Amino acid sequence: MDTLDVPEGAVVAGVDGSARAARALELAAREAERRRAVLHVVHAFPWLSQAHGWEFAPEAGAMSVAERVVADAVDQVRAAHGGLTVTGQVVVDDPTVVLVEASERAAIVVIGARGLGRVAGQLLGSVSQKVAAHAHGPVLVVREQAPDDGGPVAVGADPSGDAPEVLEYAFEEAVRRGTGLLAVLAVEPESVPPDYDDDRVTTLLQQATRTTQERFRADLAAWERRYPGVPVEPLLPRQHPVEALVTAAERACVVVVGSRGRRGLRAVRLGSVARGVLHRAPAVVVVRVPAAGRG
């Protein structure tokens, strides 16, 4: 019943013995190699919270199963990634609490989630969603369908320009992966309420869209100067941001989105775009954006 002990700057992989966790573990190992970081494998054993609070120990048999989950995961990674430093531990606590706490020291937390689709996607595991909403650093949520490396990194741009952390993370990830960037600024077509159905209103809305797109291109050009080795393809679809990013995910190795998560683990309050993309894309990094910005 170890207390959480995450090496500073490690890639943390949450495992539970499932197939989705196995895929997350493999992608976490690759992420650790790219970052030249330790891979720390964690299995949070959700012993009865009351029993844990009263300091009742889990049964020895149950703990041995949990320890075997971690040992098998560590052995699997060491066999496939011989040069990687891999550590692991079992922590008796709620998985969400453990992984959010781990994110304070980790470079990134990697966790698996259930399958894709408009219906199945709504079953995004509560642990995955809560960790993505409340982690202190980036969280990579992957499913079994998550692609191998090779495609570009896709990133959703904030039309307000208030989230430079998201673009910076996406460019850095493209550098780590040696790939390009799909920079997506999605603006839905102008919709004028019937009471305001006036050509002047439509013209103003269209001008606002053009201004937003021009600012986006200018901001993107500044980022390209900072990262001259990253090929950038700007995408400006006229559709809902979730639809645009899910479409981009078909070409991408990973999608990067921002979230101004709320405190309190009982509340799952990802932004609507981050939540929608998490439900429907196979590999998504959620980057924490300071709450002082606009949401």
Tell whether the model's pLDDT for residue 285 goes beyond 70. yes
- The pLDDT assigned to 91 comes to 92
Whole-Å CA distances, 227 to 36, 58, 171, 185:
20, 51, 7, 19
- For residues 79 and 13, the answer to whether their CB atoms sit within 8 Å is no
Nearest-CA neighbor of 254 among 164, 176, 137?
176
CB 195: neighbour CB atoms within 10 A?
Answer: 6
Task: Please state the pTM of the whole predicted model.
Answer: 0.86
Find out if CATH 3.40.50.620 is the number for domain 150-295.
yes
- The pLDDT assigned to 123 comes to 42
- For residues 181 and 226, the answer to whether their CB atoms sit within 8 Å is no
- pLDDT band at 294, cuts 50/70/90? very low
Distance CA 173, CA 5 (A): 26
87: three-class secondary structure by DSSP: strand
User: Which residue's entry shows tokens 């090929």?
Assistant: 231
> Residues 174-204: pLDDT tens digits?
999 999 999 999 987 766 666 666 677 778 8
Distance CA 225, CA 215 (A): 16
Choices 3.40.50.2300, 3.40.1050.10, 3.40.50.12370, 1.20.210.10: CATH for 1-112: 3.40.50.12370
Most confident of 153-167, 195-209, 261-275: 153-167
**What is the domain partition of the chain in residue ranges?**
1-112, 150-295
Q: For residue 199, what are the contacts with CB-CB under 8 A and spacing of at least 6?
A: none
What is the DSSP pairing of strand 139-142 with strand 108-112? parallel
Higher pLDDT pick, 117 / 161: 161
Same-fold call for 1-112 versus 150-295: yes
Nearest-CA neighbor of 73 among 123, 110, 47, 102?
110
Higher pLDDT pick, 292 / 82: 82
